[in-house]
Structure 1
Amino acid sequence: MNPLNSIKGVWILGFVLAVILGVVVNLTATGSWFDFNHAEFWRWIHVIAGIVWIGLLYYFNFVQIPAVAQAGSEAAPINRFVAPTALLWFRWAAVATWVSGAIYLAIIQQFANVFTLGFAGGFDAAYGLPMGIGVWLGTIMLINVWALIWPNQKKVLGIVEASDEEKTKAKQIAKMASRTNVVLSIPMLMFMVAARGGVSVLAL
């Protein structure tokens, strides 16, 4: 059976290939750079889930919303079949991103330091501050997904009963919350990348 014929097969094949390549590189490279430990596993999951989450966020804002607006009455199949599935992956990828990131920070004993913007670590500005800014922006984005985007999208898509007036209002709220998340995602990604290795590239 071809694993490329199913989404489950694609995920399994991708993870298996990553592990095999990691083992091969670790055995052949000079110096063992591929130190895949418990913490690295959760950072890996965090990155993959984050790519799914932010990728779908950008898809909604840059592709689906403009396309649906242009399609008008012809957009019904998108709202009926595409949007619910995309929103399922979107909201749970957001949870997976946040939870895996929190587990990673707890394992490396940086959870309190990051969530206090470096103050819990004696104001560790090199890691706690930039990562903390990224984490708090990501937390706000997660709240927006579950408190604003998803509840209002359920009204727009007819999953929850709502009047035409309520649907119009819900559509605007969901759109503005989603656009806000796009704005927040840009500095979020910048600060999280800046905090790599405990040395802020913003300070270089």
Structure 2
Amino acid sequence: MGAYILDWLNLFFRWFHVIAGVAWIGASFYFVWLDMSLQKPPKWKADKGISGDLWAVHGGGFYEIAKYKLEPEEMPKTLHWFKWEAYTTWLTGMCMLTIVYYANATAYLIDPNKVDFGSNLGAIATSLLFLGGSYAIYEIIVRSRIGKNAMAFSATIFILMILATWGAYQLFSDRASFIHVGAILGTIMAGNVFFGIMPAQRALVDCVRRGVKPDENVANLALMARNRSLMNNYFTLPLIFTMISNHYPMMYSPNSSWLSGWMVLVFVGIITAITRHFFNQKHLGHFKPQFLIVPALLTLVLIFLMRPAPIAPAPVSPVQSAAPVAGSTDGDSATAEATTVAASGDDAVMAVVHERCSTCHAAQPTQAGFAAPPAGIILQTPEDMKAHKAKVVTAVQSSYMPLGNITKMTDEERQQVVAYTSGL
């Protein structure tokens, strides 16, 4: 019953998280586009303190949009704030982290081949410390002198994110490492809203309400808020990738001699950040196709480097390979013996599957924490293995399955299952 309730909580918070994320990311993209698309206003608008304006058409009507340099002439009666989209996305994301990775840490959070935490509680505490420490370091840097230099700040954060990606991969399961990097990005983005953007907005609103001219301190807060908002814009695409990465084990557990999972994520981060830069430049009226060409080339390089190693063919016994001679009783005997050997081979592999895979991938899973087979995949017969051949080969070969190697599948068993399934 506990696993059943967790599945419902998983569904609810995942759905809520996606809805809130769509609202937040949509608003973020829109306001960055808006800020970068503003044109120099006519003199009569500039005299009123308007720094930029634009016209748009949507939904059968025209919109005239103006941005004030700091404060309007008077406080509007209705003022729309954009904050709960960010807070709700982060809160539901932390709920998802708790439900999926903390409540079932043995299967999803821990990889005993990397770190022996001793207990689930130790792994959860390490996860929280890792996330909290990463954000604390970011906040210290953004408030320091480095944070006032765009180039130095960007380079510093880039290097630190590479280190965080590597660190997460050393501590947690491959799948969990990607989610932790996404959680760091999401926490930074929500923190930018809570600790940077909202204080600046409240300071501006307070000045307008009191009829006071915003001072240099308020102006600096507004500039920092704009910079944090732009930073969130560049983090958005890598964050979305980590959110969907659990569906693609080839990304975080690549069967490649060239790249490990953390390197793949760094690659993706660079590709998506450059792509986002193309659109930001386009909003400013600068069409620079090189910022699309470079990511496209890097994607091809990534695809090449991640190519899987060839699968070794399943071992064939001499009896199986012997060709029967026509009309020969020896041939009939060899054929019968080969059939027997093949059948026993099926039994041997399926015995491994039943012990290592079917505890989760059964109509009624016996593994704690699973109310139903993951992704609806049942692996109990050779026909099941054939029906899910592509997924089984990729998941087992990449060591993604069993999750956290909870059933302790050996390398020999892994090779045996991959070779057998590939030949079906």
**Other structure's SS at 1:37 match:** helix
**Residue 156 (structure 1) shift:** 3.0
Is 1:164 the counterpart of 2:211 in the alignment?
Answer: no
Equivalent residue for 1:56, pick from 27, 45, 55: 27
What whole-Å deviation, never above 9, does each CA across 1:82-111 have from its counterpart, x for those lacking one? 9941x3xx3111111111121122222447
Structure 1 segment 1-204 matched on structure 2, within 5 A: 37-63=8-34, 65-66=35-36, 70-71=40-41, 72=46, 73-74=49-50, 75=66, 84-85=79-80, 87=81, 90-110=82-102, 113=109, 115=127, 117=168, 123-125=172-174, 127-157=175-205, 158=208, 163-196=214-247, 199=249, 201=251, 203=254
C-alpha contact (below 8 Å) 1:194/1:200 kept by paired residues: no
C-alpha contact (below 8 Å) 1:148/1:174 kept by paired residues: yes
Q: What is the CA RMSD across the aligned residues, in angstroms?
A: 3.3
- CA 159–100 in structure 1, closer or farther in 2 if over 3 Å, else same: farther
Report which stretch shifted further, 92-101 or 141-150: 92-101
The residue identity in structure 1 corresponding to 2:179 is M
The residue identity in structure 2 corresponding to 1:201 is M
Q: Work out the CA distance in 2 between the residues paired with 1:190 and 1:82.
A: 40
Q: Work out the CA distance in 2 between the residues paired with 1:200 and 1:162.
A: 56
The residue identity in structure 2 corresponding to 1:124 is S
- CA 119–53 in structure 1, closer or farther in 2 if over 3 Å, else same: same
Query: Larger RCO: Structure 1 or Structure 2 (Cα < 8 Å, ≥ 6 residues apart)?
Result: 1
Structure 2-normalised TM-score? 0.33
Q: Work out the CA distance in 2 between the residues paired with 1:128 and 1:96.
A: 22
Q: Work out the CA distance in 2 between the residues paired with 1:103 and 1:168.
A: 36
C-alpha contact (below 8 Å) 2:204/2:214 kept by paired residues: no
- CA 170–109 in structure 1, closer or farther in 2 if over 3 Å, else same: closer
Report which stretch shifted further, 94-103 or 139-148: 94-103
Asked which structure has the greater CA Rg, the reply is 2
C-alpha contact (below 8 Å) 2:196/2:228 kept by paired residues: yes
Q: Work out the CA distance in 1 between the residues paired with 2:17 and 2:67.
A: 34
Report which stretch shifted further, 36-45 or 50-59: 36-45
**Residue 118 (structure 1) shift:** 6.0
**Residue 177 (structure 1) shift:** 0.8
**Other structure's SS at 1:108 match:** helix
Structure 1: which 5+ runs fail to align?
Answer: 1-35
What whole-Å deviation, never above 9, does each CA across 1:136-172 have from its counterpart, x for those lacking one? 1100111110000110122234368663323321221
The residue identity in structure 1 corresponding to 2:218 is K
- CA 159–141 in structure 1, closer or farther in 2 if over 3 Å, else same: farther
Structure 2: which 5+ runs fail to align?
Answer: 1-6, 51-65, 110-123, 131-167, 255-305, 307-424
Q: Which has the higher strand share?
A: 2
**Other structure's SS at 1:195 match:** helix
Q: Work out the CA distance in 2 between the residues paired with 1:145 and 1:60.
A: 14
**Residue 119 (structure 1) shift:** 6.1
Paired positions, count: 161
- CA 56–81 in structure 1, closer or farther in 2 if over 3 Å, else same: farther
Report which stretch shifted further, 106-115 or 171-180: 106-115
